[in-house]
């Protein structure tokens, strides 16, 4: 791939889910620094066991001189998703960029063995990780079609087909006592990958790009906490700024349709394209 020119995002409207902390928050701040109006969507209204809230992210954007709107959303609730898009259009007039970043990363059964995963937990992860992006895409596409196009960026996981190998890498179940296996999480993310790939051609006719980004094992607040709790060194985790920068690149690049329907590994692509 050749690096494209990045455009100013002044006046563009972006919805970023899961933006109270982590990759979502870093991406929201980067988009705001480039002039985008950003809608911060997440469940966290008040900080809890982990730092961050939708209000804090919004306040930081406003402190930079940007415009932001905080919307409390349960990603598994269809009415909340409709309210999110309605609030965005009411406030800013439309949607140009949708970043589906929110995912279930904390659940009692998240990394449990197969026989210990309740069916309701399995369904909940699919509701948040797949069905919410599906619903949001349906809701925002008409708004993107009206002005002539848009961008949908889906944050995927380490099971994405981005390794450029003839066969998929063997799955590493755990590192020491830190269990990496999360059946519902990885299965739902693979479903999101395939869904994005399938609908990309259809949406490209409306000049809407659908791009998947695999962040790697990132130093988000929850991952750092879990790794440290397992007594492991967290220095090899990917800084959150790397996937956030790659998402910002795809939000601002001159011709996103060159990338549509494809999956990209943030750390590798950032290096190969020389993106600072």
Tell me which H or E stretch contains 87. helix 78-92
Report how far residue 117's alpha carbon sits from residue 108's, in angstroms, rounded to the nearest whole number: 9
Structure tokens at 161: 């087909």
Average pLDDT, stretch 35-45? 95
**Percent of the chain residues topping a pLDDT of 90:** 74
Structure tokens at 191: 């479903």
pLDDT (tens digit per residue) in 132-164: 999 999 999 999 999 999 999 999 987 656 555
Given this model, what pLDDT does residue 62 score? Answer: 97
Given this model, what pLDDT does residue 86 score? Answer: 98
DSSP string, 9-55: -TT-EEEEET-SSHHHHHHHHHHHHTT-EEEEEES-SS--SSS--HH
Average pLDDT, stretch 251-258? 98
Asked whether the whole model's pTM tops 0.85, one would answer yes
Report how far residue 196's alpha carbon sits from residue 189's, in angstroms, rounded to the nearest whole number: 11
Question: What's the mean per-residue pLDDT of the chain?
Answer: 90
Give the CA count within 13 Å in the CB-facing half-sphere of 118: 6
Domains and CATH numbers, the chain: 13-270 (3.40.50.720)
Report how far residue 79's alpha carbon sits from residue 94's, in angstroms, rounded to the nearest whole number: 19
Q: Which residue in the block uniquely carries the two structure tokens 């197969």?
A: 114
Tell me which H or E stretch contains 70. strand 68-72
Please state, in angstroms and as integers, the Cα–Cα distance from residue 133 to each residue in 15, 204, 227, 240, following that order: 12, 17, 28, 21
Given this model, what pLDDT does residue 236 score? Answer: 79
Report how far residue 57's alpha carbon sits from residue 5's, in angstroms, rounded to the nearest whole number: 28
Around Cβ 245, how many Cβ atoms within 10 Å? 17
Q: Which residues are bridge partners to 178 per DSSP?
A: 175
Structure tokens at 106: 């904390």
Average pLDDT, stretch 10-27? 96
Given this model, what pLDDT does residue 44 score? Answer: 87
């Amino acid at each position: 791939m050749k690096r494209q020119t990045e455009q100013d995002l002044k006046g563009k409207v972006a919805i970023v889910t899961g933006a109270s902390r982590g990759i979502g928050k870093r991406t929201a701040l980067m988009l705001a620094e480039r002039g985008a109006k950003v809608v911060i969507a997440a469940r966290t209204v008040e900080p809890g066991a982990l730092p961050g809230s939708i209000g804090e992210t919004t306040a930081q954007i406003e402190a930079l001189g940007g415009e932001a709107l905080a919307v409390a959303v349960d990603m598994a609730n269809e009415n909340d998703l409709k309210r999110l898009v309605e609030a965005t259009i009411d406030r800013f007039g439309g949607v140009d960029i949708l970043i589906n970043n929110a995912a279930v990363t904390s659940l009692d059964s998240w990394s449990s063995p197969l026989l210990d995963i309740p069916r309701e937990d399995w369904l909940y992860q699919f509701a948040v990780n797949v069905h919410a992006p599906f619903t949001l895409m349906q809701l925002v596409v008409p708004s993107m079609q009206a002005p002539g196009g848009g961008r949908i960026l889906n944050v995927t996981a380490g099971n994405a087909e981005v390794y450029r190998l003839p066969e998929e890498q063997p799955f590493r179940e755990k590192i020491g006592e830190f269990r990496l296996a999360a059946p519902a999480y990885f299965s739902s993310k693979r479903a999101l990958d395939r869904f994005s790939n399938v609908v990309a051609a259809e949406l490209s006719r409306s000049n809407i790009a659908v791009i998947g980004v695999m962040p790697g094992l990132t130093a988000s607040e929850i991952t750092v906490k879990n790794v440290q709790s397992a007594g492991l060194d967290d220095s090899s985790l990917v800084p959150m700024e790397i996937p956030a920068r790659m998402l910002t690149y795809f939000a601002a690049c001159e011709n996103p349709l060159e990338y549509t329907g494809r999956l990209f590994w943030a750390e590798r692509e950032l290096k190969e394209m020389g993106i600072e």
